[in-house]
Structure 1
Amino acid sequence: MEAVIFDMDGVLIDSEPVSKLAFAQAFEVTGLDFTEAIYQKILGRSLRDIELFFSEQYQDTKLAAKIITIREQEFARHYQDHPVSVKPGVYQLLDYLDSQKMKKAVATSAKQSIAEKLLQQSGLFARMDVHCYGSEVTEAKPNPELFIKAASRLNISPEKAYVIEDSQSGVIAANRGGFVPIYIPEEKDEFLNDHPFKYSLFNSLTEFQAALSLKL
Protein backbone atom coordinates (compact mmCIF):
# COMPACT_ATOMS: atom_id res chain seq x y z
CA MET A 1 0.00 0.00 0.00
CA GLU A 2 1.28 3.43 -0.94
CA ALA A 3 -1.17 5.99 0.43
CA VAL A 4 -4.00 6.87 2.77
CA ILE A 5 -6.87 9.08 1.63
CA PHE A 6 -8.77 10.69 4.50
CA ASP A 7 -12.29 12.00 4.60
CA MET A 8 -12.26 15.21 6.67
CA ASP A 9 -15.49 15.61 8.66
CA GLY A 10 -15.75 12.90 11.28
CA VAL A 11 -12.37 11.36 10.41
CA LEU A 12 -9.77 14.12 10.75
CA ILE A 13 -11.90 16.81 12.33
CA ASP A 14 -14.63 16.28 14.93
CA SER A 15 -17.06 18.49 13.04
CA GLU A 16 -19.99 16.11 12.64
CA PRO A 17 -21.63 17.17 15.94
CA VAL A 18 -21.33 20.81 14.81
CA SER A 19 -22.80 20.00 11.41
CA LYS A 20 -25.63 18.00 12.96
CA LEU A 21 -26.52 20.85 15.32
CA ALA A 22 -26.39 23.35 12.44
CA PHE A 23 -28.83 21.22 10.45
CA ALA A 24 -31.09 20.89 13.50
CA GLN A 25 -31.13 24.69 13.84
CA ALA A 26 -31.90 25.09 10.14
CA PHE A 27 -34.80 22.66 10.40
CA GLU A 28 -36.13 24.43 13.48
CA VAL A 29 -36.08 27.80 11.69
CA THR A 30 -37.91 26.33 8.70
CA GLY A 31 -40.46 24.54 10.88
CA LEU A 32 -39.41 21.00 9.99
CA ASP A 33 -38.70 18.00 12.18
CA PHE A 34 -35.04 16.95 12.06
CA THR A 35 -34.77 13.22 12.80
CA GLU A 36 -31.85 10.82 13.14
CA ALA A 37 -33.14 8.95 10.08
CA ILE A 38 -32.85 12.09 7.97
CA TYR A 39 -29.36 12.80 9.32
CA GLN A 40 -28.14 9.31 8.42
CA LYS A 41 -29.39 9.81 4.86
CA ILE A 42 -27.32 12.98 4.41
CA LEU A 43 -24.22 11.98 6.38
CA GLY A 44 -21.06 12.14 4.26
CA ARG A 45 -22.75 13.82 1.28
CA SER A 46 -21.86 17.21 -0.16
CA LEU A 47 -24.11 20.18 0.63
CA ARG A 48 -24.98 20.41 -3.04
CA ASP A 49 -26.13 16.78 -3.03
CA ILE A 50 -27.99 17.27 0.26
CA GLU A 51 -29.82 20.26 -1.21
CA LEU A 52 -30.96 18.12 -4.14
CA PHE A 53 -32.09 15.43 -1.70
CA PHE A 54 -34.13 17.93 0.31
CA SER A 55 -35.63 19.37 -2.89
CA GLU A 56 -36.92 15.91 -3.77
CA GLN A 57 -37.88 15.05 -0.19
CA TYR A 58 -39.99 18.16 0.36
CA GLN A 59 -40.82 18.99 -3.27
CA ASP A 60 -39.63 22.55 -2.64
CA THR A 61 -36.35 23.88 -4.08
CA LYS A 62 -36.57 27.20 -2.21
CA LEU A 63 -37.05 25.44 1.12
CA ALA A 64 -34.11 23.15 0.41
CA ALA A 65 -31.90 26.11 -0.46
CA LYS A 66 -32.96 27.91 2.72
CA ILE A 67 -32.05 24.89 4.86
CA ILE A 68 -28.58 24.72 3.32
CA THR A 69 -28.02 28.47 3.65
CA ILE A 70 -28.94 28.49 7.35
CA ARG A 71 -26.85 25.38 7.98
CA GLU A 72 -23.78 27.02 6.40
CA GLN A 73 -24.31 30.19 8.43
CA GLU A 74 -24.65 28.30 11.72
CA PHE A 75 -21.67 26.05 10.93
CA ALA A 76 -19.41 29.02 10.10
CA ARG A 77 -20.64 30.95 13.16
CA HIS A 78 -19.59 28.08 15.44
CA TYR A 79 -15.99 28.17 14.24
CA GLN A 80 -15.76 31.92 14.68
CA ASP A 81 -15.97 31.35 18.43
CA HIS A 82 -14.63 27.81 18.87
CA PRO A 83 -11.36 26.07 17.94
CA VAL A 84 -11.29 23.20 15.47
CA SER A 85 -11.36 19.88 17.32
CA VAL A 86 -9.10 17.22 15.79
CA LYS A 87 -10.06 13.56 16.21
CA PRO A 88 -7.94 11.46 18.59
CA GLY A 89 -4.99 9.71 16.97
CA VAL A 90 -4.80 11.92 13.88
CA TYR A 91 -1.36 13.47 14.47
CA GLN A 92 0.13 10.17 15.62
CA LEU A 93 -1.15 8.38 12.50
CA LEU A 94 0.19 11.11 10.22
CA ASP A 95 3.60 10.87 11.91
CA TYR A 96 3.55 7.10 11.41
CA LEU A 97 2.63 7.41 7.72
CA ASP A 98 5.47 9.89 7.25
CA SER A 99 7.91 7.44 8.84
CA GLN A 100 6.74 4.77 6.37
CA LYS A 101 6.99 7.15 3.38
CA MET A 102 3.29 6.72 2.63
CA LYS A 103 1.47 9.47 0.76
CA LYS A 104 -1.45 11.29 2.40
CA ALA A 105 -4.49 13.02 0.95
CA VAL A 106 -7.66 14.59 2.22
CA ALA A 107 -10.77 14.12 0.07
CA THR A 108 -13.76 15.90 1.56
CA SER A 109 -17.27 16.58 0.31
CA ALA A 110 -17.02 20.06 1.83
CA LYS A 111 -16.50 23.13 -0.32
CA GLN A 112 -12.90 24.27 -0.67
CA SER A 113 -13.63 27.66 0.93
CA ILE A 114 -14.93 25.96 4.08
CA ALA A 115 -12.60 22.95 4.27
CA GLU A 116 -9.35 24.87 3.77
CA LYS A 117 -10.10 27.11 6.75
CA LEU A 118 -10.72 24.13 9.03
CA LEU A 119 -7.62 22.30 7.80
CA GLN A 120 -5.47 25.40 8.20
CA GLN A 121 -6.80 26.16 11.70
CA SER A 122 -6.14 22.57 12.80
CA GLY A 123 -2.64 22.44 11.32
CA LEU A 124 -3.61 19.56 9.05
CA PHE A 125 -3.44 21.33 5.69
CA ALA A 126 0.35 21.26 5.50
CA ARG A 127 0.46 17.62 6.60
CA MET A 128 -1.28 16.44 3.42
CA ASP A 129 0.35 15.85 0.05
CA VAL A 130 -2.92 16.39 -1.80
CA HIS A 131 -6.24 18.15 -1.11
CA CYS A 132 -9.51 17.42 -2.94
CA TYR A 133 -12.83 19.15 -2.29
CA GLY A 134 -16.47 18.56 -3.08
CA SER A 135 -16.58 21.82 -5.02
CA GLU A 136 -14.06 20.34 -7.50
CA VAL A 137 -16.18 17.39 -8.62
CA THR A 138 -19.53 17.03 -10.33
CA GLU A 139 -20.65 13.81 -8.63
CA ALA A 140 -20.97 13.41 -4.86
CA LYS A 141 -20.44 10.27 -2.78
CA PRO A 142 -21.37 7.44 -3.17
CA ASN A 143 -19.89 8.21 -6.59
CA PRO A 144 -16.10 7.64 -6.35
CA GLU A 145 -15.12 10.72 -8.39
CA LEU A 146 -13.64 12.56 -5.38
CA PHE A 147 -11.40 9.65 -4.37
CA ILE A 148 -10.36 8.99 -7.97
CA LYS A 149 -9.29 12.62 -8.28
CA ALA A 150 -7.22 12.29 -5.10
CA ALA A 151 -5.53 9.12 -6.37
CA SER A 152 -4.77 10.82 -9.68
CA ARG A 153 -3.14 13.76 -7.91
CA LEU A 154 -1.14 11.34 -5.75
CA ASN A 155 -0.14 9.51 -8.95
CA ILE A 156 -1.18 6.12 -7.58
CA SER A 157 -3.69 3.46 -8.58
CA PRO A 158 -6.80 3.08 -6.37
CA GLU A 159 -5.96 -0.42 -5.16
CA LYS A 160 -2.76 0.97 -3.59
CA ALA A 161 -4.66 3.40 -1.34
CA TYR A 162 -6.64 3.06 1.86
CA VAL A 163 -9.68 5.32 2.11
CA ILE A 164 -10.72 6.17 5.67
CA GLU A 165 -14.40 7.04 6.03
CA ASP A 166 -16.98 7.51 8.76
CA SER A 167 -20.06 7.27 6.52
CA GLN A 168 -21.66 4.48 4.53
CA SER A 169 -21.80 6.63 1.40
CA GLY A 170 -18.03 7.10 1.63
CA VAL A 171 -17.41 3.37 2.07
CA ILE A 172 -19.60 2.65 -0.95
CA ALA A 173 -17.69 5.26 -2.99
CA ALA A 174 -14.37 3.67 -2.00
CA ASN A 175 -15.67 0.25 -3.08
CA ARG A 176 -16.90 1.56 -6.41
CA GLY A 177 -13.57 3.27 -7.05
CA GLY A 178 -11.47 0.18 -6.37
CA PHE A 179 -9.89 1.47 -3.15
CA VAL A 180 -9.33 -0.36 0.15
CA PRO A 181 -12.05 1.02 2.48
CA ILE A 182 -11.47 1.60 6.19
CA TYR A 183 -14.71 2.27 8.08
CA ILE A 184 -14.58 4.17 11.39
CA PRO A 185 -18.20 5.23 12.01
CA GLU A 186 -19.05 8.09 14.36
CA GLU A 187 -21.75 5.95 15.93
CA LYS A 188 -22.83 2.35 15.49
CA ASP A 189 -24.02 2.39 11.90
CA GLU A 190 -24.00 -1.14 10.53
CA PHE A 191 -24.57 -2.00 6.89
CA LEU A 192 -27.46 -4.33 6.10
CA ASN A 193 -26.45 -8.00 6.18
CA ASP A 194 -26.94 -8.48 2.45
CA HIS A 195 -24.77 -5.54 1.37
CA PRO A 196 -22.07 -6.27 -1.28
CA PHE A 197 -19.51 -3.76 0.00
CA LYS A 198 -16.13 -4.65 1.48
CA TYR A 199 -14.46 -2.75 4.30
CA SER A 200 -12.39 -3.16 7.45
CA LEU A 201 -14.14 -1.87 10.57
CA PHE A 202 -12.21 -0.06 13.33
CA ASN A 203 -13.23 1.86 16.43
CA SER A 204 -10.57 4.57 16.05
CA LEU A 205 -7.63 5.82 14.04
CA THR A 206 -5.36 4.50 16.78
CA GLU A 207 -6.77 1.02 16.28
CA PHE A 208 -6.26 1.30 12.53
CA GLN A 209 -2.66 2.43 13.02
CA ALA A 210 -1.97 -0.58 15.24
CA ALA A 211 -3.35 -2.93 12.58
CA LEU A 212 -1.42 -1.12 9.85
CA SER A 213 1.86 -1.46 11.72
CA LEU A 214 1.43 -5.23 11.79
CA LYS A 215 1.07 -5.35 8.00
CA LEU A 216 4.10 -3.20 7.15
Structure 2
Amino acid sequence: MTTMTLQALIFDLDGVLTDTAELHYRTWQRVAEEEGFAFSRSLGDQLRGVSRRASLEAILAGRVLSEAQMTALQARKNDHFLTMLNHMTPADLLPGVLPLLDDARASGLRTAVASASQNAHAVLDRLGIRPRFDVICDGHSVLHSKPAPDLFLLAATRLNVPPSACVVFEDAAAGIVGARAAGMMVVGVGPPSRVDGANLVVSSLANVRLADLQRLVADRQPPAAEEMYA
Protein backbone atom coordinates (compact mmCIF):
# COMPACT_ATOMS: atom_id res chain seq x y z
CA MET A 1 0.00 0.00 0.00
CA THR A 2 1.38 3.42 -0.98
CA THR A 3 1.71 5.92 1.85
CA MET A 4 0.56 9.45 1.02
CA THR A 5 3.01 12.21 1.95
CA LEU A 6 2.16 15.74 2.98
CA GLN A 7 2.64 18.16 0.09
CA ALA A 8 0.65 21.31 0.93
CA LEU A 9 -0.81 23.41 3.72
CA ILE A 10 -4.04 25.32 3.07
CA PHE A 11 -5.05 28.10 5.46
CA ASP A 12 -8.33 29.79 6.17
CA LEU A 13 -7.72 33.48 6.83
CA ASP A 14 -10.16 34.92 9.36
CA GLY A 15 -9.44 33.51 12.81
CA VAL A 16 -6.47 31.40 11.64
CA LEU A 17 -3.86 33.82 10.31
CA THR A 18 -5.27 36.94 11.98
CA ASP A 19 -8.29 37.84 14.06
CA THR A 20 -10.30 39.48 11.31
CA ALA A 21 -13.11 37.28 12.58
CA GLU A 22 -13.58 39.89 15.32
CA LEU A 23 -13.68 42.69 12.73
CA HIS A 24 -16.36 40.80 10.81
CA TYR A 25 -18.36 40.37 14.01
CA ARG A 26 -18.15 44.08 14.87
CA THR A 27 -19.05 45.25 11.36
CA TRP A 28 -22.02 42.89 11.07
CA GLN A 29 -23.10 44.00 14.55
CA ARG A 30 -22.99 47.62 13.42
CA VAL A 31 -25.14 46.91 10.35
CA ALA A 32 -27.59 44.91 12.44
CA GLU A 33 -27.90 47.75 14.95
CA GLU A 34 -28.37 50.31 12.17
CA GLU A 35 -31.19 48.22 10.70
CA GLY A 36 -32.76 47.06 13.97
CA PHE A 37 -31.93 43.37 13.40
CA ALA A 38 -31.18 41.06 16.32
CA PHE A 39 -27.52 40.06 16.52
CA SER A 40 -25.52 38.19 19.15
CA ARG A 41 -22.06 36.81 19.77
CA SER A 42 -23.34 33.26 19.22
CA LEU A 43 -24.78 34.23 15.84
CA GLY A 44 -21.53 35.97 14.98
CA ASP A 45 -19.63 32.76 15.73
CA GLN A 46 -21.92 30.89 13.34
CA LEU A 47 -20.88 33.28 10.56
CA ARG A 48 -17.20 32.29 10.77
CA GLY A 49 -16.02 31.08 7.39
CA VAL A 50 -19.36 31.90 5.75
CA SER A 51 -19.73 34.13 2.69
CA ARG A 52 -20.98 37.72 2.99
CA ARG A 53 -24.28 36.89 1.30
CA ALA A 54 -24.91 33.82 3.45
CA SER A 55 -24.00 35.79 6.57
CA LEU A 56 -26.57 38.45 5.76
CA GLU A 57 -29.21 35.81 5.09
CA ALA A 58 -28.50 34.27 8.52
CA ILE A 59 -28.85 37.67 10.19
CA LEU A 60 -32.13 38.34 8.38
CA ALA A 61 -33.51 35.08 9.82
CA GLY A 62 -36.17 34.70 7.17
CA ARG A 63 -36.88 38.37 6.50
CA VAL A 64 -37.27 39.02 2.77
CA LEU A 65 -35.49 42.02 1.25
CA SER A 66 -35.19 43.10 -2.36
CA GLU A 67 -32.00 42.26 -4.23
CA ALA A 68 -31.10 45.95 -4.21
CA GLN A 69 -31.47 46.09 -0.42
CA MET A 70 -29.37 42.93 -0.01
CA THR A 71 -26.62 44.38 -2.19
CA ALA A 72 -26.68 47.70 -0.35
CA LEU A 73 -26.40 46.07 3.09
CA GLN A 74 -23.51 43.87 1.99
CA ALA A 75 -21.73 46.91 0.55
CA ARG A 76 -22.26 48.91 3.74
CA LYS A 77 -20.89 46.07 5.84
CA ASN A 78 -17.84 45.87 3.58
CA ASP A 79 -17.27 49.63 3.82
CA HIS A 80 -17.27 49.38 7.63
CA PHE A 81 -14.85 46.44 7.41
CA LEU A 82 -12.43 48.20 5.06
CA THR A 83 -12.35 51.23 7.36
CA MET A 84 -11.29 48.99 10.25
CA LEU A 85 -8.85 47.13 8.01
CA ASN A 86 -6.86 50.32 7.46
CA HIS A 87 -5.55 49.96 11.01
CA MET A 88 -4.26 46.40 10.52
CA THR A 89 -0.49 45.77 10.51
CA PRO A 90 1.84 42.72 10.56
CA ALA A 91 1.60 42.93 14.35
CA ASP A 92 -1.93 41.53 13.97
CA LEU A 93 -0.69 38.13 12.82
CA LEU A 94 -1.74 35.40 15.23
CA PRO A 95 0.91 33.43 17.17
CA GLY A 96 2.80 30.79 15.24
CA VAL A 97 1.90 31.95 11.72
CA LEU A 98 5.36 33.04 10.54
CA PRO A 99 7.30 30.10 12.07
CA LEU A 100 4.89 27.60 10.51
CA LEU A 101 5.10 29.24 7.09
CA ASP A 102 8.90 29.32 7.36
CA ASP A 103 9.01 25.63 8.35
CA ALA A 104 6.69 24.76 5.46
CA ARG A 105 8.89 26.56 2.93
CA ALA A 106 12.06 25.00 4.36
CA SER A 107 10.43 21.56 4.04
CA GLY A 108 9.42 22.14 0.42
CA LEU A 109 5.69 22.27 1.14
CA ARG A 110 3.32 24.31 -1.00
CA THR A 111 1.05 26.84 0.72
CA ALA A 112 -2.33 28.37 -0.07
CA VAL A 113 -5.06 30.51 1.41
CA ALA A 114 -8.66 29.34 0.94
CA SER A 115 -10.92 32.01 2.39
CA ALA A 116 -14.55 32.93 1.82
CA SER A 117 -13.55 36.56 2.30
CA GLN A 118 -13.67 38.80 -0.75
CA ASN A 119 -11.02 40.96 0.94
CA ALA A 120 -8.43 38.21 1.36
CA HIS A 121 -5.80 39.84 -0.85
CA ALA A 122 -6.17 43.19 0.94
CA VAL A 123 -5.89 41.55 4.37
CA LEU A 124 -2.82 39.54 3.38
CA ASP A 125 -1.21 42.72 2.03
CA ARG A 126 -1.87 44.57 5.30
CA LEU A 127 -0.32 41.64 7.20
CA GLY A 128 2.69 41.60 4.89
CA ILE A 129 2.47 37.87 4.12
CA ARG A 130 0.88 37.67 0.69
CA PRO A 131 4.17 36.64 -1.03
CA ARG A 132 4.49 33.69 1.34
CA PHE A 133 1.61 31.85 -0.35
CA ASP A 134 1.81 30.06 -3.68
CA VAL A 135 -1.95 30.30 -4.25
CA ILE A 136 -4.75 32.52 -2.91
CA CYS A 137 -8.37 31.46 -3.38
CA ASP A 138 -11.01 33.85 -2.04
CA GLY A 139 -14.67 34.72 -2.16
CA HIS A 140 -14.34 35.68 -5.82
CA SER A 141 -12.80 32.36 -6.84
CA VAL A 142 -15.74 29.93 -6.74
CA LEU A 143 -19.50 30.00 -7.07
CA HIS A 144 -20.17 27.83 -4.02
CA SER A 145 -18.30 28.85 -0.87
CA LYS A 146 -17.89 26.93 2.39
CA PRO A 147 -19.29 24.52 3.52
CA ALA A 148 -19.01 23.37 -0.10
CA PRO A 149 -15.57 21.86 -0.84
CA ASP A 150 -15.03 24.00 -3.95
CA LEU A 151 -12.53 26.50 -2.47
CA PHE A 152 -10.30 23.75 -1.14
CA LEU A 153 -10.45 21.69 -4.32
CA LEU A 154 -9.58 24.77 -6.37
CA ALA A 155 -6.60 25.47 -4.11
CA ALA A 156 -5.34 21.90 -4.52
CA THR A 157 -5.77 22.12 -8.29
CA ARG A 158 -3.85 25.39 -8.50
CA LEU A 159 -1.14 23.97 -6.23
CA ASN A 160 -1.01 20.90 -8.48
CA VAL A 161 -1.25 18.49 -5.54
CA PRO A 162 -3.87 15.83 -4.75
CA PRO A 163 -6.43 16.75 -2.06
CA SER A 164 -5.35 13.77 0.03
CA ALA A 165 -1.86 15.31 0.32
CA CYS A 166 -3.21 18.56 1.82
CA VAL A 167 -3.79 19.65 5.41
CA VAL A 168 -6.24 22.49 6.01
CA PHE A 169 -6.27 24.90 8.95
CA GLU A 170 -9.76 26.10 9.90
CA ASP A 171 -11.43 27.83 12.83
CA ALA A 172 -15.05 27.35 11.75
CA ALA A 173 -17.47 24.47 11.36
CA ALA A 174 -18.36 25.45 7.78
CA GLY A 175 -14.72 25.29 6.73
CA ILE A 176 -14.12 21.98 8.47
CA VAL A 177 -17.11 20.45 6.70
CA GLY A 178 -15.89 21.77 3.36
CA ALA A 179 -12.31 20.62 3.81
CA ARG A 180 -13.32 17.11 4.85
CA ALA A 181 -15.74 16.94 1.92
CA ALA A 182 -12.74 17.77 -0.29
CA GLY A 183 -10.94 14.72 1.08
CA MET A 184 -8.43 16.69 3.12
CA MET A 185 -7.27 16.32 6.69
CA VAL A 186 -8.19 19.29 8.90
CA VAL A 187 -6.57 21.00 11.87
CA GLY A 188 -9.13 22.92 13.90
CA VAL A 189 -7.76 26.15 15.39
CA GLY A 190 -9.69 27.26 18.47
CA PRO A 191 -11.81 25.81 21.26
CA PRO A 192 -12.76 22.15 20.82
CA SER A 193 -16.44 23.02 21.13
CA ARG A 194 -16.20 25.05 17.91
CA VAL A 195 -13.87 22.83 15.87
CA ASP A 196 -14.76 19.36 17.13
CA GLY A 197 -15.18 18.06 13.57
CA ALA A 198 -11.47 18.48 12.85
CA ASN A 199 -8.95 15.63 12.74
CA LEU A 200 -6.68 17.50 15.13
CA VAL A 201 -7.37 20.45 17.45
CA VAL A 202 -4.90 23.15 18.48
CA SER A 203 -5.33 26.40 20.39
CA SER A 204 -3.13 28.28 17.90
CA LEU A 205 -0.69 27.68 15.07
CA ALA A 206 2.10 28.03 17.65
CA ASN A 207 1.20 24.49 18.76
CA VAL A 208 1.55 22.93 15.30
CA ARG A 209 4.43 20.60 14.43
CA LEU A 210 5.04 19.48 10.87
CA ALA A 211 5.69 15.94 12.09
CA ASP A 212 2.11 15.76 13.39
CA LEU A 213 0.77 16.98 10.05
CA GLN A 214 2.87 14.52 8.12
CA ARG A 215 1.55 11.71 10.30
CA LEU A 216 -2.05 12.89 9.78
CA VAL A 217 -1.66 12.54 6.03
CA ALA A 218 0.31 9.29 6.17
CA ASP A 219 -2.13 7.60 8.55
CA ARG A 220 -5.30 9.27 7.20
CA GLN A 221 -6.61 9.26 10.76
CA PRO A 222 -6.07 11.37 13.90
CA PRO A 223 -2.83 10.54 15.73
CA ALA A 224 -3.48 8.70 18.98
CA ALA A 225 -3.47 10.86 22.10
CA GLU A 226 -2.62 13.98 20.14
CA GLU A 227 -5.17 16.39 21.61
CA MET A 228 -3.03 19.52 21.58
CA TYR A 229 -5.50 22.11 22.84
CA ALA A 230 -4.26 23.85 25.98
Give the TM-score normalised by structure 2: 0.82
Partner of 1:212: 212
Q: How many residues align?
A: 209
Mapped pair 1:70 → 2:76 = yes
For the 8 Å contact 1:10–1:186, the answer to whether it is kept is no
Mapped pair 1:128 → 2:133 = yes
Partner of 1:149: 154
Deviations 1:100-152 (A, max 9, x none): 111100111011xx221111121211000111111110001110000000000
The letter for the 1-side match of 2:109 is M
Equivalent residue runs for 1:16-55 within 5 Å = 16-54=21-59
The letter for the 1-side match of 2:10 is I
Counterpart CA distance in 2 for 1:173 and 1:87 is: 23
> Which of 71, 81, 93 matches 1:86?
93
The letter for the 1-side match of 2:194 is D
Point out the structure with the larger helix share: 1
The letter for the 1-side match of 2:153 is I
* C-alpha distance 213-54 of structure 1, shift in aligned 2 (>3 A): closer
Deviations 1:13-37 (A, max 9, x none): 2211111111111111111121123
Structure 2 residue ranges without an equivalent (≥5): 1-5, 219-230
Q: Work out the percentage of aligned pairs sharing the same amino acid.
A: 26
* C-alpha distance 168-29 of structure 1, shift in aligned 2 (>3 A): same
Partner of 1:194: none
Partner of 2:116: 109
Give the CA RMSD over aligned residues: 2.3
Partner of 2:103: 96
Aligned residue for 1:4, secondary structure, equals: strand
